[in-house]
Structure 1
């Protein structure tokens, strides 16, 4: 391979550089870098808008004082814009729920699986019917508890027992038990 001598070049033309970036290479690097920065400027806001809003993050977890809930009573509170039923089951309700064999249920769960160890009388569950999302009755004083002494959904007739397990009607699953923990004997943290 012959080397190019300066005397072999046409007049006014400089010899090509032996190494390093040519101007065209520099323009390609600059264009790709500019496109990368532009793509990041578009993608970051698109991904960020999928994050939960501030009001949802503020309700990521709540603490509920359960000290005033007497045995056999319950309250309805709100978490993540959904109703939550907290019920203090009586010893008779606990015994009744424990008598039902889990294998006979549509969505088999024992009361122990739906409550915390040592706190089997405290039932915490979302107050949303698993059929089409209606709010069942039964947590409030004098509300229809249905044929199983638990919760009754007036929209399509789903009936849940005292442990929130589906016993009759079109609902496919038990009432959902959210993540919760006892912060003390009188305070529950949901979420």
Structure 2
């Protein structure tokens, strides 16, 4: 009986409540740490791998590309066309009535301000993902002097805008910036 009285007295003074609170806080803390330990691997596996991060951007030296020439580069395992437009190609692209185009975009919108002679586009046809011709030396450029997709006959002009064929959109312009006059960073 004396024991029960001392337990009742301890409860009334708050010592028993403090011990119980401590056990509850410790249990919740332990469960929280365990939950975080279980979630960390699940969340971290969703992050991009090192090889993907390495390909997230690429720098390309464009100093050797003469006016009228184009090169093919690779960004995110996809081809990229970099073309140094001639003044004639620029004027031909600017003469086109944009309202007549399937995907209306001006050359100015597709190039960087102050660098309108540099056209940088993805080398993937917007119809079914084939690689158009026209960036390599001696390749067929199509009737508008830009790119020609041999798979289904899409034809792009000098500004890589769709002019003929089944492709629904212009060749995509990837995010890019000029690090200097001779280096462009894609991505």
What is aligned with 1:133?
129
What is aligned with 1:82?
78
What is aligned with 2:39?
43
In 2, distance between residues paired with 1:123 and 1:75? 11
Give the Å deviation of 1:185: 1.8
In 1, distance between residues paired with 2:97 and 2:38? 56
Q: 1:60 aligns with which of 52, 56, 75?
A: 56
Determine helix, strand or coil for the equivalent of 1:124.
Answer: strand
More helix by share: 2
What is aligned with 2:14?
19
In 2, distance between residues paired with 1:18 and 1:157? 89
What is aligned with 1:178?
174
What is aligned with 1:4?
none
Unmatched 5+ residue regions in structure 1?
Answer: 1-9
- Cα deviation per residue 1:85-108 (whole Å; 9 max; x = unaligned)? 000111111111111111111111
- Cα deviation per residue 1:148-183 (whole Å; 9 max; x = unaligned)? 221122222222111111112222221111121222
Unmatched 5+ residue regions in structure 2?
Answer: none
Q: In structure 2, do the counterparts of structure 1 residues 101 and 38 end up closer, same or farther at CA, with 3 Å as the change threshold?
A: same
In 2, distance between residues paired with 1:81 and 1:17? 72
How many residues are treated as equivalent by the alignment? 182
